[in-house]
Amino acid sequence: MRVIEAADLADRIEELCLEVSTALPADVTDALSRFRAREESESGRRVIDLILENARAATELGVPLCQDTGFFTVYLTLAPGDAISGDLEGEAAGAVARATERGRLRPSVVRDPVGARVNTGNNTPPLVEMELSRAQESTLGVMAKGGGSEMASRLAMLAPGAGWGGALEFIVGMVEELGARACPPLVLGVGMGGSFDSVTRLAKKALMRPLDEQTADPAVRAREEELVSEVNRLGIGPGGHGGTVTCFGARITEAPCHMAILPVALSVSCHALRRKTVPI
Amino acid sequence: MGVIPVIELRLPAGREALRSLKAGDEVLLSGDVLTMRDAALKRLEELLAEGGEPPFGLEGQVVFHAGPTPPAAGRPAGAIGPTTSARMDRFLEMLFERGVAATLGKGPRSAEAAAHHRAYGAVYLAAVGGLSALYGGMVDEIEPLAWEDLGPEGVFRVRLNGFPALVAVDAEGADHLEGRHSRYRRR
């Protein structure tokens, strides 16, 4: 058995936080460029050009892609035979605080949510998600998610009879209602199945999956394609200024669930899908 | 869109100066705006309810729904940009009653917000969310004005220099974005 010391992950978490804040991943810029060709609105194409130009400027200047530098989630996935030792939450919080200082990130986290909402000043605490996996190697991932897109995310507990049609209707309806506020073009992370608590994690973690990675199950792949195509009929467009590209990717993760329920969760990402996963 | 002439505006400019703007016009903003977002607007609401007065004037101002990052790369904000305005629709009438001429933000507004724009003759200017590394280069100065304890949600005077935006709701209450969505809708 390999024991990973949490303290040994701190520097890598800090570097990942800094990298995702200033550099848009290649799979995201590639997908944006690909969808630009499908945009019928001239102003929509111009917005996509500006998004790509913004990404180049952020990386070149070393400034954040967006003033909303987001709420950080740290994902640790342990492969069989690996274990973690030490205070991962504490190490992750320290890493986020140092990245906030070094990267000149905006402190965007408040405590006492329905009370004084005092800013913690350094984006702590991050959310730490640890899970076991049967994958070959353990991984460490970081996501920075903005408040605007998180506000457009939703959960529905559907009846099993609703099926994919009902799930699709729910998701497209939510994007129609809230998508223009969430900095489109969007990437949609969807969870289906599982339970009330796990389906939202599935949806958000689906956003970690690269947009250029082909979904293994052909039925799920077809659903992802149908979702993108249906959302792009809404007309919201890049920047919400009207157009045929409201969404440039969907990632769906499914899980077994109780026979009485069909949980469906939508985790919306703005065009600045900021995340990276590395093997450890 | 490229053929629409861009209107250059010096700010602050009162309601009268902005009244001729039409939904869909493209503008380039230069001069001073005040940042106010969720926390500052809530504090203003509480202060006014107690009969207090804010330590800054709002008459004729443009309120920018934004919370900048700290200074970086030799500029006053590394990244700055609009946040979702609809979230602050509940505070809109309060701002218009205090003489605010326009809000600058992003995204669609509620139907109720459009009615307030018509009633007060104010306008809503929309920028694009998530272009904040570029927008950071269009800001000459940022000065904290009040409520620094709110951190990035405090009130800052921001001096813009050629900041592009779209007139999304004009003083007649006409909503530009709504029309744009229907134009490309295929359902």
A-facing residues of B in 83-142 (CB < 8 A) are 83-84, 86-87, 106-108, 126, 128-134, 136-137
User: Is the model's pLDDT at B5 over the cut of 90?
Assistant: no
A251: which strand partners? A189
A36, A25 Cβ separation under 8 angstroms = no
Chain A residue with minimal CA distance to B82?
Answer: A67
Residues A167 and A114 in one domain: no
Do both A86 and A167 map to the same domain?
Answer: no
pLDDT confidence of residue A173: 98
Q: Which of residues 226-245 of A touch B (CB under 8 A)?
A: 233-244
Q: What is the pLDDT of residue A275?
A: 98
Q: A216 is in which domain, residue-wise?
A: 146-275
Task: Decide which of A112, A145, A178 is a domain's last residue.
Answer: A145
A173 inside 8 A of chain B by CB: no
3-class DSSP assignment, residue B102: strand
Task: Compute the average pLDDT of residues A100-109.
Answer: 98
Distances (CA, A) of B144 to B37, B104, B152: 14, 18, 10
Contact B166 A242 (CB under 8 A): no
Q: For chain A, what is the domain count?
A: 2
A168 touches chain B (CB under 8 A): no
Name residues 35-94 of chain B within 8 A of A (Cβ). 39, 66-73, 77-81, 83-84, 86-87
Going A95 to A97 to A100 to A103, the CA torsion angle's sign is: negative
- Identify the pLDDT of residue A260: 98
Task: Return the amino acid letter for B139.
Answer: V
Average pLDDT over all residues of chain A: 98
A1 and A87, same domain (yes or no): yes
What per-residue confidence (pLDDT) applies to B187?
85
The CA distance from B64 to B125, in Å, is 9
Domain boundary among A129, A145, A161: A145
Let me know the angle formed at the C-alpha of A7 by A273 and A99, rounded to the nearest 5 degrees: 40
Are A54 and B137 a contacting pair at CB < 8 A?
Answer: no
Q: Which CATH number fits domain B25-184: 3.20.130.10, 3.40.190.10, 3.20.10.10, 3.40.30.10?
A: 3.20.130.10
What percent of chain A lies above the pLDDT cut of 90? 100
Give me the residues of A, 72-111, that contact B with CB < 8 A.
104-108
Q: Which residue has the tokens 């994902």?
A: A75
- Chosen domain end from A118, A145, A172: A145
The question of ipTM being above 0.90 is answered as: yes
Assigned domain for A150 exists: yes
- A141 and A151 in a single domain? The answer is no
Q: Does the residue A262 lie in any domain?
A: yes
Is the per-residue pLDDT at B4 higher than 80?
Answer: no
Give the pLDDT mean for A225-252. Answer: 98
Q: Do A106 and B186 touch (CB under 8 A)?
A: no
Asked if A200 reaches chain B (Cβ–Cβ under 8 Å), the answer is no
Residue identified by tokens 């995204």 is B107
Please give the pLDDT value at position A224: 98
**Is A280 within the bounds of a domain?**
no
A32 has pLDDT over 90: yes
**Strand pairing class (A71-78; A139-145):** antiparallel
Residues A16, A136 within the same domain: yes
Q: Do A121 and A245 fall within a single domain? A: no
- Asked if residue A100 belongs to a domain, the reply is yes
pLDDT of residue B3: 57
Tell me, yes or no, whether A77 lies in a domain.
Answer: yes
**Is A253 part of a structural domain of the chain?**
yes
Q: Give percent of chain B above pLDDT 70.
A: 98
Query: Is the predicted pLDDT of residue B2 greater than 70, yes or no?
Result: no
Q: Tell me the mean pLDDT in the region A227-241.
A: 98
Contacts of residue A210, defined as CB under 8 A and 6 or more positions apart, other chains included, come to: A25, A27
A190, part of any domain: yes
Q: What is the CATH number of the domain that holds A102?
A: 3.30.360
A101 and A180 fall within a common domain? no
A69 and B CB contact within 8 Å = yes
In a domain? residue A58: no
Residue B185: pLDDT above 90?
Answer: yes
Q: What is the mean pLDDT of residues B40-57?
A: 97
Angle at CA A146, nearest 5°, toward A263 and B165?
Answer: 125
> Could you read off the pLDDT of A139-177 as tens digits, one per residue?
999 999 999 999 999 999 999 999 999 999 999 999 999
On whether both A141 and A155 belong to a single domain, the answer is: no
pLDDT for B158: 98
Contact B166 A67 (CB under 8 A): no
Query: Which of B110, B132, B148 should be substituted to probe chain A, the one whose Cβ sees the most A Cβ atoms within 10 Å?
Result: B132
CB-CB under 8 Å, B78 with A241? no
The confidence band for A26, taking pLDDT boundaries of 50, 70 and 90, is very high
**Looking at chain A from residue 130 to 149, which residues have their Cβ under 8 Å from any Cβ of chain B?**
146-148
pLDDT tens by residue, B54-99: 999 999 999 999 999 999 999 999 999 999 999 999 999 999 999 9
The string of DSSP codes covering chain A is -EEEEGGGGHHHHHHHHHHHHH---HHHHHHHHHHHTT---HHHHHHHHHHHHHHHHHHHHT--SSS---EEEEEEEEPTTEEEES-HHHHHHHHHHHHHHHTTPPP--EESTTTT-EE-SS-PSPEEEEEE--SSS-EEEEEEE-HHHHTT-EEEEE-GGGHHHHHHHHHHHHHHHHGGGG-SSEEEEEEEEE-TTHHHHHHHHHTTS-TTSPPSSHHHHHHHHHHHHHHTTS---GGGSS-S-SEEEEEEEEEEE-TT-EEEEEEEE-S--EEEEEE-
Beta pairing partners, B107: none
Size of interface A-B (CB pairs under 8 A): 164
Report angle CA B35, B41, B43 to the nearest 5 degrees. 120
Domain boundaries, chain B: 25-184
> A181 and A135 in one domain?
no
A4 touches chain B (CB under 8 A): no
Confidence of residue B1 (pLDDT cuts 50, 70, 90): very low
Closest CA to B19 of B33, B30, B7: B7
Q: Are A125 and A156 members of one domain?
A: no
Average pLDDT over residues B118-132: 97
Q: Are B25 and B72 in contact (CB under 8 A)?
A: no
Beta-carbon separation of B131 and A50 below 8 A: yes
Residues of A in contact with B73 (CB under 8 A): 61-63
